[in-house]
Amino acid sequence: MQVRRNGAGSPLLVEEVMGYEGFSGNETILYHLHSPCRLDQVGGFRPIERDRWVPDAHVHRLADANPIEPGGEAVSGRRLLMWNSDIEVSIAKPTEPGGGFHRNGEGDEVLYIHRGGGVLRTVFGRVPFRERDYVVIPRGTTYAFELAEGEQFWLCFHTPGEIETPNRYRNRYGQLLEHAPFSQRDFHPPGELETCDERGEFALTVRVRGGHQDYVLDRHPFDVVGWDGYVWPYTFNADDFEPRAGRFHLPPPAHQTFQGQNFVICTFAPRMLDWDPESVPLPYHHSNIQSEEVMFYAAGDYAARKGVDVGAITLHPSGLPHGPQPGAVEKALGAKATDELAIMWDTFRPLELTSLWREHDKPEYALSWNPDRSPVEA
Ligand SMILES: [Fe+2]
């Protein structure tokens, strides 16, 4: 329809529908001052190269992400840690926001902000983010970063599928149920819209077709004067996750935060523990025979694993059982609460590792369930 910024006589705005699943999924309509197709120069294309590490043994693994050196920009400085065809997980410790604009043309992104904060500037408006935020960025969003002072340490997820909240938390109209672990109030949409009617030279890099394509625009990409719809970037803070507990142990789906294509992301938040006098307030040993289980330890004390500190990552791959380490269960009996905060991603297909994991791998972890062999104290 005809939409003008300042009524009759002013130029028509350019309507852009941005939607999933052709024209059948969620969508947003944005109103631009100029055509979003407009390019000035077409730059180069750089294929993504993955530095695969094939370990010489299939074992449980632990890596410490703390010593990973800070550096680089908020997008190009992300360092791939693991991937499969459904998910890529990178570590970023950016020291520079990066000068240009970015758009992921082949996947949704989630950033978990372990340390740091700033503002994600987007075509939808400004999205401030802080420690413990999940920042969800739909594909197709043009964005740039402003970084707060101080340390930045992020987990970065990319998926060719969609990042969604679990269907089972929603009623038949799509509203979050009251007993879901979060409500609509916990999801923070873009705030102030930046409308820049500027000429200039603006670098834009679009991730597409397994690589990065550079362009130069001669108009500022944030020329939107208004939008509405169901597709927009948002933040959700892990401290707003309402944990669930039971008389006996509840399995990880109780902690599920997001669903993706063949993976889930869960938040293990500080919570009361199982309250039956006969309960064991730790996970049982489990063989999740159809998934790989990766856990990032974000805060507090994770009682089931000794020698695993904040900033560590464990990988419990398919084919092997895992559970509390020796002595952990006895120590935990009678505990009323836990202060742990951990971010978990389970993938239903095997994960490949990169040399970044190899550099920070702790091979002794594989033997840590054997008190006769393990240097890790129970
Ligand atoms: Fe597990």
Residue pair 63/360 in contact (Cβ under 8 Å)? The answer is yes
Nearest Cα residue to 232 out of 196, 264, 193: 193
Q: Tell me the mean pLDDT in the region 142-164.
A: 98
Q: Tell me the mean pLDDT in the region 196-217.
A: 98
At residue 378 the predicted structure's pLDDT band, cuts being 50, 70 and 90, is very low
Distance between Cα 322 and ligand 1 center (Å): 6
At residue 219 the predicted structure's pLDDT band, cuts being 50, 70 and 90, is very high
Residue pair 344/296 in contact (Cβ under 8 Å)? The answer is yes
Distance between Cα 314 and ligand 1 center (Å): 10
Percent of the chain at pLDDT exceeding 90: 90
**pLDDT confidence of residue 261:** 97
CA Rg value for the chain: 22
Contacts of residue 7, Cβ cutoff 8 Å, sequence gap at least 6 = none
Query: Is a pLDDT exceeding 90 seen at residue 205?
Result: yes
**pLDDT confidence of residue 305:** 74
Query: Is a pLDDT exceeding 80 seen at residue 303?
Result: no
Residue with tokens 């039956």: 276
Q: What is the DSSP string of 283-307?
A: PPPB--TT-EEEEEEEES--TT-TT
Cα torsion for 330, 247, 181, 26, to the nearest 10°?
Answer: 100
Q: What is the pLDDT of residues 167-188, one digit of tens each?
A: 999 999 999 999 999 999 999 9
Distance between Cα 56 and ligand 1 center (Å): 23
* CA 307/CA 372 separation, integer angstroms: 16
Handedness of CA 188, 189, 195, 196 (dihedral sign): positive
Contacts of residue 35, Cβ cutoff 8 Å, sequence gap at least 6 = 14
Distance between Cα 35 and ligand 1 center (Å): 49
**pLDDT confidence of residue 306:** 72
* CA 30/CA 124 separation, integer angstroms: 8
Distance between Cα 320 and ligand 1 center (Å): 11
Model pTM score? 0.96
* CA 205/CA 100 separation, integer angstroms: 7
Percent of the chain at pLDDT exceeding 70: 98
Q: What is the pLDDT of residues 69-124, one digit of tens each?
A: 999 999 999 999 999 999 999 999 999 999 899 999 999 999 999 999 999 999 99
Distance between Cα 372 and ligand 1 center (Å): 23
**pLDDT confidence of residue 376:** 52
Strands of 27-32's sheet in order across: 14-19, 27-32, 224-229
Neighbours of 162 (CB within 10 A): 17
* CA 106/CA 122 separation, integer angstroms: 17
**pLDDT confidence of residue 377:** 47
Q: What is the pLDDT of residues 100-110, one digit of tens each?
A: 999 999 999 99
Distance between Cα 286 and ligand 1 center (Å): 6
**pLDDT confidence of residue 241:** 98
Query: Is a pLDDT exceeding 80 seen at residue 337?
Result: yes
For residue 64, list its beta bridge partners: 312
Comparing 295 with 325, which gets the higher pLDDT?
Answer: 295
CA distances from 49 to 93, 108, 211, 298 (A): 20, 19, 8, 29
Q: What is the pLDDT of residues 257-291, one digit of tens each?
A: 999 999 999 999 999 999 999 999 998 999 988 99
Contacts of residue 21, Cβ cutoff 8 Å, sequence gap at least 6 = none
Distance between Cα 347 and ligand 1 center (Å): 12
* CA 263/CA 105 separation, integer angstroms: 20
**Ramachandran class of 77: left when φ > 0, alpha when ψ lies in -120 to 50, beta otherwise:** alpha
Distance between Cα 53 and ligand 1 center (Å): 23
Distance of CA 90 to the CA centre of its chain: 9
Residue pair 281/349 in contact (Cβ under 8 Å)? The answer is no
Distance between Cα 323 and ligand 1 center (Å): 6
